Amino acid sequence: MVDSRTSREGRAIRRRRECTGCARRFTTYEVVEERPVQVIKSDETVENFDREKLLRSIRLPCVKRPVSEADIEAMVDAIEDELSGRDQIPSRALGELVMDQLRERDYVAYVRFASVYRNFKTIDEFVEELEELSEARTRLEQKKNQAELNL
Q: For the chain, which residues make up each domain, given as ranges?
A: 50-119
Q: How far apart, in whole angstroms, are the C-alpha atoms of residue 65 and residue 31?
A: 37
Distance CA 37, CA 44 (A): 15
Q: Give per-residue pLDDT as tens, 90-146.
A: 999 999 999 999 999 998 999 999 888 888 888 888 888 888 888 888 888 888 888
Look up the pTM and report it. 0.68
The answer to whether residues 78 and 108 touch, using CB atoms and an 8 Å cutoff, is no
